[in-house]
Amino acid sequence: MNDLNISKETLDFIEEEEIKLKDIFSKIDKQAKDNSMKVLAGFQKYEVSESYFNSTTGYGYNDLGRDNIEKIFAYVLDGEDAIVRSQFISGTHALTVALFAYLRPNDIMLSISGLPYDTLHEVIGIVPNNSSLASFGVMYEQIDLVDNDFDYEKIKDYLKKNKVKLIEIQRSKGYSTRKSLTIDKLEKVIKCIRELDKDVIIMVDNCYCEFVESKTPLTVGADVMVGSLIKNLGGGIAPNGAYIAGKKDLVDLAGERLTCPGEGREVGPTLGINKSLLQGLFMAPSVVASSLKTAILASKCLEDLGYNVEPKYDEERADIVQNIIFNDKDKLIKYVQGIQMGSPIDSQAVPMPWDMPGYEDQVIMAAGAFTQGSSIELSCDGPIREPYIAYQQGGLTYEYGRLGVARAIEELKK
């Protein structure tokens, strides 16, 4: 045994599995190099200098760093414009701001990727809330996926019969058993939608997906995309925040909903966060690559230990999330606790299921992270409901990620 309480047997097992993953890891490294080129080109295009790190307070007028950070994000994400702010508390908050910016009473919002993530249920009104979209007269409909792909016939039929204001697509699986949606699938369904309706707003929840593939939802025709900065694009350095990127008029509408009409994106103090946002984006291609390698290692190891996993280690990936299906409540809890034991922060803490705000079921969550709630750092969580799935994501470096997985495997053995 070593000081991390990981047996030699487990470490040897990890090393044997790594050898089998060499070619897959090489492809991830190539993707990281391509994404790094794009990020560096964005920094140079908008002439990043030390003056961009300066802080504004109060109203935040004339913040040169803030305005150029948003241009860089737009460039990297293939969008016309972007709003990137610490005033966004989370990805869910950014999605909420976007939805309330674009939808009006009697408008129809249509989800074509099934039920959205749990924290959006009260935002939409799936779970009643007096501040929901439903309470303002916005109507919500959804079309479920079929065999992990869009139900094209139902989508076509619905659009022929109804005037939809906004179509929402959630790429990552959330707390579901479906597969995450690749850019190729997204491109195909957007083309299908545009053949029937050229005006509907296509909005993509891109959380967990940035830099996993070379294209973005905006590249393939989406109008707007939303993501969190304590996930992929924050690179583990951004302390909070989120972004909304896409068509300029839609980004401006979101800015007026985040602040107030008439002021919009002209206000919003950065309070010293600019350097962290820039440095996080700069590191993001490498950090996302480490997260992918950590997820793939977990997939290979846990499958070879007899557990069902999704995606398989050699499947195409759309995000950094790894499902491990335990079909056993106690094993789910043990694995999540093991990830916490392999973390740099609060490794002595023992996660237990609890009633977490925004979720219908109890949730157990390992989050030994430098930033509270960060899921680009190695983390693992899951609702306490059948089939008892652990949702693992993140890993700032692969070296630390593999140790976290090793510690979780060690805990499972008990």
| Per-residue pLDDT in tens (0 to 9) along the chain, 414 residues | 578 999 999 999 999 999 999 999 999 999 999 999 999 999 999 999 999 999 999 999 999 999 999 999 999 999 999 999 999 999 999 999 999 999 999 999 999 999 999 899 999 999 999 999 999 999 999 999 999 999 999 999 999 999 999 999 999 998 888 999 999 999 999 999 999 999 999 999 999 999 999 999 999 999 999 999 999 999 999 999 999 999 999 999 999 999 999 999 999 999 999 999 999 999 999 999 999 999 999 999 999 999 999 999 999 999 999 999 999 999 999 999 999 999 999 999 999 999 987 778 899 999 899 999 999 999 999 999 999 999 999 999 999 999 999 999 999 988
Whole-angstrom distance, CA of residue 254 vs CA of residue 225:
12
117 lies in some domain: yes
226 and 99 within one domain: yes
276 lies in some domain: no
340 and 209 within one domain: no
Domain boundary among 201, 236, 271: 271
22 lies in some domain: yes
Q: How would you label 156-174 residue by residue, b for 16+ Cβ within 10 Å and e otherwise? A: eebbeeeebbbbbbbbbbb
Q: What token pair was written down for 390?
A: 């652990």
CA 305, distance to chain mean position in Å, is 28
User: Which residues constitute the domain of residue 179?
Assistant: 54-271
- Indicate the SS3 state at residue 8: helix
The residue behind tokens 């129809």 is 108
CA 366, distance to chain mean position in Å, is 17
Read off the CATH number of the domain in which 403 is found: 3.90.1150.60
324 and 259 within one domain: no
Residue 145's Cβ-side half-sphere holds a number of Cα atoms within 13 Å equal to 22
What's the number of domains the chain is made of?
2
**Please, are residues 224 and 189 in contact by the beta-carbon 8 Å criterion?**
no
164 and 266 within one domain: yes
pTM confidence score: 0.96
48 lies in some domain: no
203 lies in some domain: yes
202 and 320 within one domain: no
Strand pairing partners for 84?
A: 243
103 and 72 within one domain: yes
191 and 116 within one domain: yes
**Please, are residues 97 and 227 in contact by the beta-carbon 8 Å criterion?**
no
